[in-house]
Amino acid sequence: MITIYKERKIVSRLFAVLLSALLTVPLLSSCGGGSKNASAPPPVDDTVGRTVSDRKATSQTEAKKGLGTGQKVALLAGAAALYYMYNQHQNASKEGAQGKYYLSKNGRVYYRDAEKRAHWVTPPSEGIRVPESEAQQYRQFQGYNGNTSGRDLTGITSSAAPAL
């Protein structure tokens, strides 16, 4: 004789329904659109596979603007050029490449686009020509007039930058 207990049958059905519901939760939650305010997208590294950029051209024209004949000029490259570019853009009110620049904790400079995505800034490989009087404050950094020794930008963050 086979005896079937009604209690076990109900418990096993409830258990099966519960497991089925738990297995469908990840599927249903992944289909949601999510909120637009969740978090900023990951940073974009514009240095990879990049050719001539409009940022290089504008930084060059900005540096050359105001240079007169016979005026002494310093060449800023590397960390010195990055810090110069950061100082030129840190109080800008626009968004994007011509807007406000931020200095990250790891010593890199970035800006945010309209979608709040971070874009790393790289100095032009040929350097930036700056009047010597203006370039004096960058003397201690790597890349000042071709100097390979000196300070990099880590630990300089003076104001809180938005989180990456």
What's the first-to-final CA gap in the chain, in angstroms? Answer: 69
Backbone dihedral angles phi then psi of residue 12, each to the nearest 5 degrees: -70, -35
Instruction: Tell me the DSSP string of 93-146.
Output: -S-STTS-EEE-TTS-EEEE-TT--EEE----TT-EEEEHHHHGGGTTBTTBTT
Q: Is the pLDDT of residue 49 over 70?
A: no
The pLDDT score that the predictor gives to residue 92 is 81
pLDDT of residue 70: 61
Say how far apart CA 116 and CA 162 lie, in whole Å.
10
pLDDT at 116 over 80: yes
* Residue 38 pLDDT: 59
Average pLDDT over residues 130-156: 79
Tell me the mean pLDDT in the region 16-33. 80
Residue for token pair 């599927």: 27
Give me the pLDDT at residue 118, please: 86
